[in-house]
Amino acid sequence: MTESAALASASTPRILVVGGGYVGLYAALRLQRRLRRGEAEIVIVEPQPYMTYQPFLPEAAAGSISPRHVVVPLRRVLHKCRILVGEVQAVDHDKRVATVNTPATDEEGGLGLEIRYDHLVLAPGSVSRALPVPGLAEHGIGFRTVEEAIGLRNHVLEQLDIASSTRDAEVREAALTFVFVGGGYAGTEALAELENMARYALRYYDGIRPEDMRWVLVEAADRILPEVGDDLGRYAVRELRGRNIDIRLQTRLESCEQRIATLSDGDRLPTRTVVWTAGMRPAPLLAATGLPLGDGGRLRTEPTLRIAGTEAAWAAGDAAAVPDLTAGELGVFCAPNAQHAVRQARVLADNLLADLRGRPMAEYRHRHAGSVASLGLHQGVAHVYGRTFKGYFAWLIHRAYHLSRVPTVNRKARVLAEWVLSGLFSREIVSLGSLEHPRGDHGLAAGADRAPDKP
């Protein structure tokens, strides 16, 4: 199937941006501001019509931020770009063609949409790295998207409902045991925020005490939060253990079949909650592009963020192995984190424009500014420009930093307003698990106990 007339343009160069995350959003935003009228058109292909600001997912799961304020609608922000909701399946850069599956692909006979381009920006990000752990596919819960964050919040509150209404000691124990696998940012912050929320919620539940809950963080390495350094990592362990959170270092999840988390240290934990945050891997699309890949499956780029050995192809963020020119030695690449992604997106956009206009390009250089992490309400750790902070002040730095980084003034104002209101009023502890099955009641009413068909 050829591309639609709405996407066709015979004379204007087309920039195809694959991915609407940090790199895709910020690069397109800079391009639409700096391109002259008619100089080029921008087409963005992204499976969701929004960008998710992932550092806010733990607070969204805890109810401190509304889910709709964690996402940035692409069509509103990138009003000069064409937004195509879909997923790129393959790229033929020699022919300058990308094949895209859209929500209408199956309806149109299953043939992907072919989009021609002149410049390609590959920023599909990364996906969860799931290991072949028995039972993980059936019982594991991810923490990568806003949908997963809200689903996990609903799930935790539902476990409290189960525990408060059962007389079966085994069911109660499993409902009140929460196992998180992965001691990086996602796992540590998600556990800390949700433990805070659950502890607060217990004041409204009869017969459950905070000490009845069991929160377990499983990490294969010998420390958590390696990005903030050894000292702050050890402080985080002490802080969490002081809240009766069980930190298992140098331990792996061997199995979670039959609602039992079996750990490499031999412990078996009956649980209805296993949250998997143990690492990421590059998007599978990269292997289907035919472009040069480096170790770890990321695209090899030059310091200008152009893909090595190519013309008119660019990459940054999680998808790219970008040389770190500040390291002082060869073979060192920038860490695949948001701090680099946002800055790389700006350099990428400027260099793409320079290439269009026949001007010299700049190399990407950025010395790591530091890291911040939340350990729940009013607790955190921060390593900023060589200085370390702990506790309440670090938590304020964490909030201030991410408030400054979330895109658009609209989102900044809404998030700040919610933080102020959450400090003045009580937490919301309502589970809306039925949102995941919105047609359930109608299906039962109309189908005589028959579950509704999927839309």
Q: Please give the helix or strand (H or E) that residue 287 lies within, else none.
A: none
Q: Answer yes or no: is pLDDT of 4 > 50.
A: no
Q: Answer yes or no: is pLDDT of 98 > 60.
A: yes
Task: Check residue 440 and give its pLDDT.
Answer: 65
Q: Answer yes or no: is pLDDT of 438 > 50.
A: yes
What's at 372, amino acid-wise?
Answer: V
Task: Check residue 370 and give its pLDDT.
Answer: 82
CA distance 221 to 210: 28
Distances 402 to 59, 341, 415 between C-alpha atoms, Å: 12, 14, 10
Band (2; pLDDT cuts 50, 70, 90): very low
CA distance 343 to 44: 19
**Across 140-149, 196-205, 321-330, least confident range:** 321-330
Identify which of 349, 292, 302, 342 has the alpha carbon closest to the alpha carbon of residue 318.
342
The percentage of residues in the chain with a pLDDT greater than 70, rounded to a whole number, is: 93
Segment 360-372, tens digit of pLDDT = 999 999 887 789 9
Q: Answer yes or no: is pLDDT of 151 > 90.
A: yes
The whole-number average pLDDT for the span 20-34 is 95
Whole-number average pLDDT of the chain: 90
**Across 46-50, 160-164, 444-448, least confident range:** 444-448
Helix, strand or coil, per DSSP, at residue 336: coil
Task: Check residue 430 and give its pLDDT.
Answer: 72
Segment 404-419, tens digit of pLDDT = 989 889 999 999 999 9
Torsion of CA 217, 220, 225, 230, to 10 degrees: 120
Please, which contacts does 292-295 make with residues 24 or more away whose CB atoms are closer than 8 Å?
294/321, 294/333, 295/321
Task: Check residue 442 and give its pLDDT.
Answer: 65
Segment 382-437, tens digit of pLDDT = 998 889 999 999 999 999 999 998 988 999 999 999 999 888 887 777 777 666 66
Task: Check residue 435 and give its pLDDT.
Answer: 64
Helix, strand or coil, per DSSP, at residue 321: strand
Helix, strand or coil, per DSSP, at residue 162: helix
Q: Which residues pair with 84 in a beta bridge?
A: 45
